[in-house]
Amino acid sequence: MTENLKAFLDAKVAQYNRPEFIENDPVTIPHMFSQKQDIEIMGFWAATLAWGQRVTIIKKCKELITLMDGAPYDFIINHEEPDLKKLLKFKHRTFNDVDTLYFIAFFRQHYERFESLEDAFIPPTPLKGEGKVQAIEGALNHFRSYFFSLPDFPHRTKKHVSSPSQKSTCKRLNMFLRWMVRKDDNGVDFGIWNRIKPTDLICPLDLHVDRVSRKLNLITRKQTDWQTAVELTERLRGFDPNDPVKYDFALFGLGIEERWGVQF
């Protein structure tokens, strides 16, 4: 049964992990850029805004890019105070201008010190001998703490960046990490980060992946939280220990097959 399920999921990965997948998925947003920092910034923003209809998510991300003059990294590093006024009208669901301006402030202070956003996910003193789950859990908890380390950060913005310490599935962050970390020749994920490894990643778990995974008996835990995402990933690691989250393509693709116009 396990071998049959692996073969079935491998076939679905091959079906969806291909360039045709990009056009209608939020990952199309970072694919609009070639500079590493632009890919990171808009990848993070696209993942953060990834709830609702995918066509709306993509539209709002493109609107945001336009407001940053088509060059997010350059705008973030070189903008002056008057340049921020046009961003006051940006809104997507509960993400508003206050959140937008804080994201820009965070990115500016980070890129003034570091070349890559990957540094934001690397704790300054990692625990020795920690396992894969503990390592990525520590990375995500560290990132949220670091993200909100600017003085007078808006408390309302905290709802847009999750962490395992909140028992969240961290779906958006795990999706972003998949985009940045996974390495293959299929052209969907970027694989531009090297210190976090594909084997360390946790599968992005939204309601649709959760539903499909339960139908396939990959999840037994009743609730849907961080430990559920870990449980799913451990099962997927049994199919491919080096690249367990490649099966996100299969599970999400099956969700699309079940329900066209799927929402995040």
pLDDT tens across 241-262, in order?
A: 999 999 999 999 998 876 544 3
What is the domain partition of the chain in residue ranges? 2-258
Q: What is residue 259's predicted lDDT score, i.e. its pLDDT?
A: 55
pLDDT of 23 higher than 60: yes
**DSSP-assigned beta bridge partners for residue 95:** 92
Q: What is residue 256's predicted lDDT score, i.e. its pLDDT?
A: 80
Lowest mean pLDDT among 198-202, 236-240, 253-257: 253-257
Computed on alpha carbons and rounded to an integer, the radius of gyration of the chain in Å comes to 18
Q: What is residue 127's predicted lDDT score, i.e. its pLDDT?
A: 56
Lowest mean pLDDT among 40-54, 123-137, 180-194: 123-137
Report the distance separating Cα 153 and Cα 156, nearest Å: 9
Contact 107, 41 (CB under 8 A): yes
53: its two tokens = 């209809």
Question: Which residue's structure tokens are 């709002």?
Answer: 60
Average pLDDT over residues 57-77: 98
